[in-house]
Amino acid sequence: MLPPGGRISGVRLEKLLGSWRRGIPRQCSADLVAAMKLLVADGRLPVGTRLPSERELTEVLPVSRTTITAAFDQLRAEGVVQSRRGAGSWISGPVGAGGGITVADDTLIDLSRAAPAALPSVRHAMDVAVAQMPEHLASHGYDERGLPLLRQRIADRYAARGLPTSPDQIVVTSGAQHAWALVLRLFVGPGDRVLVEQPSYPNALEAVRASFGIPVPVPMLSDGWDVDGFEAALRQAGPRLAYLIPDFQNPTGLRMSSESREALAAVLRKARTPLVVDETLVELSLDGSPDPLPMAAFGGDSVVTLGSASKSHWGGLRIGWIRASSEVVHRLLSTRAGIDLGTPVFEQLVMAALLESPESVLGQRREGARAQRDVAVAALREHCPQWSFDVPVGGLGIWCALDGPVSTRVAVMAQNHGVRLVPGPRFAVHGGCEQMLRVPYTQSPEVLREAIGRLGVVAASVAGTGFPADADLSLPVA
C-alpha cells in the first residue's frame, strides 16, 4: 500500500535542492544524497511525498542519470526512499535524529545536539544510588509522582531560587520532553492553538503537532521578547496554551528580564491562557549576574514549569519534572497512566544524590560550559568572520546570523566536511530562519576548534550565495 502524499515535480525539487554540489565530480552522488536527506530532516520533503522519476530529474539536474540512480539506490538502502515498479518512488521515513543526517563516518563531529557529556559527579551519584537500591526492591517500583526524596530536593531547589514550592507540586518525568507531552495531553485537543516563540526548540514544536495542536509563532526581537506581539497574538489566535523558554532561550540564548516576565505574565493572566515554561537550561548562567525570579513567581498557578537534568547534569539520565499547582498535578496524575506508569527508580536515586549539594555539581558544569563557549566564540571570529552573533550569557549554543540565506546549504556542505548541524529552518514553525544557524559548544575545546575550522571552509565557499529568490522555504513540517 502506498503512503498518502502529494507529488513534487522535478523543477520544484531542483529549486529546493539549491546549490547542493561541492564541485568534485566523484562526490556528486554523495552530495545529492546528503542534500535529499537534509530536505527530509528539515520537513521540506515530508514522509509520503512522491518523487519525480530518475528520467525527469536527469532533465533538470546538471548530473548524469548514473549519478541520480546511485543516489536513489543509497537513499533506498538507508530507508529514506522506497520504490515500486509501476508506482515510482516516495519518501518512506525520517532520517537520523537531531538534524537528521545518518552518516557512517566515525570522524563526524556532531554539533546537532546541544547536550554535554556527563560530569564525574554522575558516576559518584550512581554509586550512591546502587547502595540505596535494596530498600526499594521490596516494593512494586511504580510511583507516578516520583520518589519523595527527589521531589523534596527539586522543591528545595525552586525555594532556593526564590519560589517556595511543596513536594506535592512536583511530578517526576522521564525528561522534559516527556513532561511537555504530558502537559499537552492535559491541555490541548485537536485543532487547539499553542502560542510559541519564533524561533523555538524543534522537538517542542513537533510535540505540539503530535498532539494535533497548531503552533502559532510570535517572532522574537533581536534583544528579547515582544510583549506587545504576544498580546496581539493572544487576541487574534485565542490560543489554548502558551509555551516559552525564558532562560537562555533555545536557540537564541536570550534571557527574559524580570520586567518582561512580569509584563508577559500579566498579559497571559488577562487572556486566561495557561503558560508552560521550559527551564531546561535555567541552571546554566555563565556570566555571574543575578538570576531573575522564575516565571511562576509572576504568573502563579497559571504557570506550569518544566525542568530537566539533561543539560545541567546528563541527558542519559532521562530525568525531568513538572512544577504546577496542586489542582494541575492531580489532573496530570489522573491521565498519566495512559502514557506511562512512572519514572525508573534507579535514575531518580541518581538525580536525588546529585541534588544533595547542587551548587558544587552545577559549578563544575558552568565552569566547563564557560570555557567551551569562549573557545567557540574565538574560533567563530577567526574562521567565520562574515557571521555575526552575540556572545551568550548562558545556555549551550551560539545563534549565528549568516551572511545570506544559506543555513540549509551550510548544513549540507558541513556534513560533507564531517560536521553535523541543524539548519535554522528546523527552529521555525513554518520555515524561515534560513539566515540563522545554531552552533552548540558542548564538545571538548579541541573538537570545537576542529569543527569550527571546518565550518570556516564551508562558510567561505558559500559566502554571498543564497537560495533562488522563488524557492519556497515556508513549507510546513509534516
User: Taking all residues of the chain, what is their mean pLDDT, rounded to a whole number?
Assistant: 90
Predicted pLDDT of residue 464: 53
Give pLDDT tens digits for 42-51: 567 777 889 9
Q: Which residue has the cell 564538545?
A: 443
What are 330-363's pLDDT values in tens digits?
A: 999 999 988 999 999 999 999 999 999 999 999 9
Domains and CATH numbers, the chain: 10-91 (1.10.10.10), 109-114+362-462 (3.90.1150.10), 121-359 (3.40.640.10)
Predicted pLDDT of residue 461: 84
* Residue 422 contacts residue 99 (beta carbons within 8 Å): yes
Residue 213's pLDDT is 97
Confidence of residue 475 (pLDDT cuts 50, 70, 90): very low
Q: What is the pLDDT of residue 471?
A: 35
Q: Is the entire prediction scored with pTM above 0.85?
A: no
Sheet holding 170-173, edge to edge: 170-173, 320-323, 303-308, 275-278, 241-244, 193-198, 214-219
Task: Express each pLDDT in 271-330 by its tens digit.
Answer: 999 999 999 999 999 998 899 999 999 999 999 999 999 999 999 999 999 999 999 999
Of 4-8, 323-327, 402-406, the poorest mean pLDDT is in 4-8
Strands (E), 291-414: 303-308, 320-323, 397-401
Q: 60 phi and psi, to 5 degrees? A: -115, -20
If phi > 0 it is left, if psi is from -120 to 50 it is alpha, else beta; for residue 250 that is beta
Residue 109: pLDDT over 70: yes
